[in-house]
Chains A and B, each alone.
Chain A
């Protein structure tokens, strides 16, 4: 596609439910990133993929969070047993290569998750 696409754009869920957030990166982009942006705060790194592998998962807040990527394309971020502190905008980005090469990352519009 023309840009990074995330779905859904908005998600309201009840505390304790599981949610799946989807990211479709730009075609051909090997690197994919997930970030979380809480209200009034900066971007918090969650995880990045190089191809289908995740070399750095250090940002995942807890074992309730997991992510996978298949076919060097679509990625899914899953949050199990959601808590109110999980409420945030979840941003996905992709780039031609891993960020250390100074390559621009392109961001999606984000998924706004609200846990009630």
Chain B
């Protein structure tokens, strides 16, 4: 069954520093992978998605993620953090035996301090 694991429930970075949020998936077949962001008191918003067209995916707000099959990873990065990036980030996957189900990781809360 598809599962998605996010390493680190909380990540704290300084403004201007690199953001790295980790996501690993397990699946018997290449999955579809997504990163969503949830700002305080708001709904989930799609940041980017991987659908096998390209392994490096660029999303909104300067975020990007690289699909690495050998590592079963889909880590989210941003070169320079901004205060407005503070939010909770969710990695999600679908495909394989869980074709119809979008499975989410536990979420990572990103804190950006001055």
Contact = CB atoms under 8 A, between A and B. Distances in A.
A109 B42 contact: yes
Contacts, number: 69
A20 B95 CA distance: 30
Contacts of A45: 101-104
Nearest to A49: B100
Interface string B85-114: 000001010110011111111110000000
Contacts of B49: 102, 104
Nearest to A105: B102
Nearest to A45: B101
A50 B100 contact: yes
B102 A102 contact: no
Interface string B74-89: 0000000000000000
Interface of A: 4, 31, 33, 35, 41-43, 45, 48, 50, 55-56, 59, 91, 93, 98-102, 104-110
